[in-house]
Structure formats: structure tokens, C-alpha cells
């Protein structure tokens, strides 16, 4: 069952029309052979309007299934085929993310939640490519490039068999879709970081502010009460806007899977303060004096800068103040570091700075770690490898 219950009076008046529109869309797509739930009825009640549908048994969202099904050719082909068949059925879905695709126990993919979708018109490659970008952006940080490439190839093959006009070569599509998806994912995460300043799926109300849902209430209370441990960093004695900015930056880095301090709680009154969880930063001189730690730090820094590059991000300001290392040589984004949009060559300056002071073994470990983070198509990854090694060698 899906409930339509808009907050505004005018939108609530339209709930019935939206529910009926989605019911008709499901019925049409089901009649055309697309795997979607069977619409049963539209029922109005005191809580809103309910669209009653058949249940897809033993199914999970693609977002949960794909990461643990890495290397599954059958799943990749099933997803690619579903995307192609949806386009051939005339479906135009503006928000086809991985939560709108279910995979049942037999490995069959289903489309659900057609909110905002429309049906009709001739196949349009540009519109279909935009839908591919939306899904790729939602999946690229949790799935392997090879699996996404298989799904894309399966989709394009089915479209060509149907003699759809304007379908480009798979190699060109992979590069264009991935480039657009990187930027979309970065922008989506930046916008969604606002939910860390209100009650949401990731936070709960706590005192005069909010805390992360998985954060210990007792730990947050102790930290804000002045009993912080060595792992906790209290952001305070700076303007309120700076506290909120650092809180949101920590949230963005967490959602991107980039090593950084983890956001625990933020207090908005009587003064704005935030609690972040991070291992104490080590004195870099102790790392520089130990060859084993230097090698580990070089690889860890490669991972950190590689993740930032893959997420289309870069660190603002000098690398020395934007990166912190713990006592084991693990690198992370330092508390207080600012993010900026990454460009085609933003990674080159820090790479050359490292290369000028590193041994050949440390440089090699940096390069390998950097490349392992990349979620790019194979051809683009090869080009990046050549540029990266060239930048290190010329330093």
C-alpha cells in the first residue's frame, strides 16, 4: 500500500488524482509486460488516499541487493533489461533511483513507485540517458564499475534489438553517464546534508538540536557536558554558521564514505556546538621518522585523495592543514577542512607535493591506493592511471 498525504490543503486535494494516475500507470505497464505490482484499488480515508497494490514477495531494494551481489552477471543483465523494457514501454521516470527497483529471491527485478512518471510518446534517447544517470548516481559509490558496465551493455543491446534510433556506442555512453552521475551524486549529497539539521531518517531530536540515530545518547550528553574523551572533538567558540558548516561537511564526508570525523550531535542553543568522533591526530614528525608508518601513510593518503577525486571533490587550502593522520598512519579529512568542487586536475598539486618528498616505494603505494578507489569505466581509469603516474614522475 502507498499512502498519498500531502501537507498543504491544495496538494491534499490533489492526492486522489495522483493516486489514480499512478494506478493507471501501473495497470498500463503491467499490460505491456513490465514487472510492476498489480494495482488493486484507490481508497480515500481520514489519513489521506491509499493506493492498494499486490505485494512483491521476498523482494529487497536494489540498493541493498547490489553491494552484496558484486560480480553477479545475471543481476546486472536483469537490471539492464528492465531499464530497456521500461523505456520501450514508454515510461518516463524522473527519479528512477535504486530504491524504486526491487529484486526478488529468484533474481527478477521489479519497478515500484512511479510517482511523477508518465507514459507515452516515442523513445527518446536523451530522456533515457537522464534516467540512467539518476540510477548510476545512486549506485556508483556502492557497486563495482564492471557490474554497472554489464547492466549498461545489456540495456543498450535490448534497445538496439528493438531498432531504437539514436543509441550511441556503449563506450561513449559509459563515459558520459559516469561523468554526469559523479556530479549528480556530489550535488545530491550536498543538498541532503541539510537533513542533518532537522529530524530525519539520519537524525533524531536531541535537546536543543539533533544527534545521529546511531550515536549513543549517553556519549553525546557526556561530551556536551564537558566530559569528552580523547576521540571526541567539540566544535565550539566559533561562529554558529561555522559550527553548522563543519557539521554538514562531516555529514557529507560520511555519506560519501570518505575518512573523516563522524558527526554525533549538534546543539543549537543557547550556543551552537557540535560533537564529532575522530581518533586523536598524531604529530606528523613521528610518522616521518618511521619508514613503516611512512609507507602506510602514503597508501592511506592515496586512498583519501582518490576517494575525494572519485566523488568530484577536493580539499580547499594547503594539504598539510586539510589532512590529519592518526598514530597508525591512517589519513582522514581534518576537522575544519573545507570542501570544494573537484576539477579535471585538482588532484595533481597534492600528488606532486607528496611525490617530491616520498621514496619510490611510497609513491608506488600512493598510486596503487589512489587508483583502487576509482569507480570509473575501464578506459577512463586507464587514462587516469597514465596521468597520475606521469604527475608523480614529473614531480
pLDDT at 357 > cutoff 80: no
3-state secondary structure of 314: strand
Same domain, 82 and 164: yes
Domain that includes residue 323, residue range = 284-394
For 372-384, letters b (16+ CB in 10 Å) and e give ebbbbbeebeeeb
Same domain, 260 and 306: no
Taking only the tens place, the pLDDT of each residue in 142-191 is 999 999 999 999 999 999 999 998 899 988 999 999 999 999 999 999 99
What is the C-alpha to C-alpha distance for residues 274 and 264, in angstroms, rounded to an integer?
8
Last residue of a domain, one of 192, 226, 252: 192
Residue 121: which CATH number?
1.10.510
- Confidence at residue 6, expressed as pLDDT on a 0 to 100 scale: 65
State the average pLDDT over residues 276-304.
92
Ranges 16-20, 130-134, 186-190, 203-207: which has the least confidence: 16-20
What region, left, alpha or beta, does residue 173 occupy, with left being phi > 0 and alpha being psi -120 to 50 degrees?
alpha
- Confidence at residue 391, expressed as pLDDT on a 0 to 100 scale: 61
Global pTM?
A: 0.89
Other residues' Cβ atoms within 10 Å of the Cβ of residue 140:
21
**Of the candidates 238, 236, 233, 286, the residue with the CA atom closest to the CA atom of residue 263:** 233
Same domain, 150 and 66: yes
Beta sheet of 59-61, edge-to-edge order: 59-61, 101-104, 109-111
The CB-side HSE value for 176 (13 A sphere, CA atoms) comes to: 14
**Cβ partners under 8 Å of residue 365, min gap 6:** 295, 298, 299, 302
175 — phi, psi (to 5°)? -65, -45
What is the C-alpha to C-alpha distance for residues 99 and 329, in angstroms, rounded to an integer?
37
Contact 20, 8 (CB under 8 A): no
Same domain, 179 and 219: no
Taking only the tens place, the pLDDT of each residue in 106-120 is 999 999 988 788 888
* Residue with more model confidence, 389 or 319: 319
- Please name every residue paired with 42 in a beta bridge, in sequence order, or none if there are none: 51
**What domain count does the chain have?**
4
State the average pLDDT over residues 336-343.
91
Same domain, 162 and 111: yes
**Which helix (H) or strand (E) covers residue 234, if one does?**
strand 232-235
Same domain, 69 and 171: yes
- Confidence at residue 185, expressed as pLDDT on a 0 to 100 scale: 97
Q: Which residue in the block uniquely carries the three cell numbers 572519485?
A: 310
- Please name every residue paired with 210 in a beta bridge, in sequence order, or none if there are none: 205, 266
Same domain, 66 and 188: yes
State the average pLDDT over residues 186-214.
96
- Confidence at residue 68, expressed as pLDDT on a 0 to 100 scale: 86
Same domain, 323 and 266: no
Residue 94 DSSP label: T
Last residue of a domain, one of 53, 75, 96: 53
Q: Which residue in the block uniquely carries the three cell numbers 566530559?
A: 227
3-state secondary structure of 53: strand
- Beta-sheet pairing, 262-267 with 209-212: antiparallel
Confidence of residue 395 (pLDDT cuts 50, 70, 90): very low
Same domain, 71 and 180: yes
Same domain, 94 and 151: yes
Q: Which residue in the block uniquely carries the three cell numbers 488493486?
A: 40
Ranges 113-127, 250-264, 336-350: which has the least confidence: 336-350
Taking only the tens place, the pLDDT of each residue in 300-323 is 999 999 999 999 999 998 888 999
pLDDT at 45 > cutoff 90: no
Extract the C-alpha cell encoding 265: 550531535
**Which helix (H) or strand (E) covers residue 31, if one does?**
helix 15-31
Last residue of a domain, one of 192, 223, 250: 192
Contact 273, 234 (CB under 8 A): yes
Same domain, 358 and 335: yes
Same domain, 119 and 179: yes
State the average pLDDT over residues 202-213.
96
Amino acid at each position: 500500500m502507498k499512502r498519498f498525504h500531502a501537507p498543504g490543503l491544495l496538494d491534499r486535494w490533489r492526492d486522489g488524482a495522483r493516486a489514480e494516475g499512478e494506478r493507471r500507470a501501473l495497470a498500463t505497464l503491467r499490460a505491456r509486460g513490465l514487472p510492476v505490482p498489480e494495482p488493486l484499488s484507490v481508497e480515500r480515508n481520514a489519513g489521506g488516499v491509499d493506493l492498494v497494490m499486490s505485494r512483491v514477495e521476498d523482494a529487497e531494494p536494489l540498493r541493498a541487493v547490489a553491494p552484496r551481489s558484486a560480480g553477479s552477471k545475471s543481476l546486472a543483465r536483469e537490471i539492464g533489461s528492465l531499464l530497456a523494457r521500461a523505456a520501450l514501454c514508454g515510461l518516463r521516470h524522473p527519479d528512477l533511483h535504486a530504491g524504486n527497483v526491487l529484486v526478488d529471491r529468484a533474481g527478477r527485478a521489479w519497478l515500484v513507485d512511479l510517482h511523477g512518471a508518465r507514459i507515452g510518446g516515442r523513445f527518446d534517447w536523451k530522456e533515457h540517458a537522464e534516467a540512467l544517470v539518476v540510477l548510476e548516481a545512486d549506485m556508483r559509490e556502492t557497486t563495482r564499475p564492471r557490474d554497472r558496465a554489464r547492466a549498461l551493455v545489456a540495456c543498450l543491446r535490448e534497445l538496439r534489438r528493438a531498432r531504437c534510433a539514436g543509441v550511441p556506442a556503449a563506450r561513449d555512453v559509459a563515459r558520459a553517464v559516469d561523468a554526469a552521475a559523479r556530479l549528480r551524486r556530489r550535488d545530491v549529497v550536498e543538498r541532503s546534508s541539510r537533513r542533518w539539521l532537522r529530524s530525519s531518517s539520519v537524525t533524531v531530536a536531541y535537546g536543543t538540536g539533533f544527534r545521529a540515530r546511531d550515536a549513543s545518547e549517553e556519549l553525546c550528553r557526556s561530551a556536551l557536558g564537558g566530559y569528552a574523551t580523547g576521540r571526541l572533538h567539540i566544535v565550539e567558540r566559533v561562529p554558529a554558521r561555522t559550527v553548522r558548516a563543519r557539521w554538514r561537511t562531516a555529514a557529507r564526508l560520511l555519506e560519501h564514505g570518505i575518512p573523516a570525523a563522524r558527526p554525533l550531535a549538534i546543539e543549537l542553543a543557547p550556543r551552537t556546538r557540535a560533537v564529532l568522533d575522530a581518533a586523536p591526530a598524531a604529530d606528523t614528525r613521528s610518522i616521518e621518522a618511521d619508514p613503516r608508518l611512512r609507507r602506510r601513510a602514503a597508501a592511506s593518503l592515496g586512498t583519501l585523495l582518490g576517494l575525494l577525486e572519485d566523488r568530484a571533490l577536493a580539499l580547499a587550502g594547503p594539504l598539510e592543514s586539510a589532512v590529519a593522520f592518526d598514530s597508525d598512519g591512517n589519513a582522514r579529512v581534518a576537522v575544519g577542512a573545507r570542501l570544494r568542487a573537484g576539477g579535471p586536475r585538482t588532484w595533481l598539486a597534492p600528488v606532486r607535493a607528496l611525490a617530491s618528498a616520498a621514496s619510490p616505494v611510497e609513491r608506488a603505494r600512493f598510486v596503487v591506493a589512489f587508483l583502487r578507489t576509482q569507480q570509473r569505466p575501464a578506459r577512463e581509469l586507464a587514462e587516469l592511471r597514465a596521468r597520475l603516474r606521469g604527475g608523480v614522475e614529473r614531480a
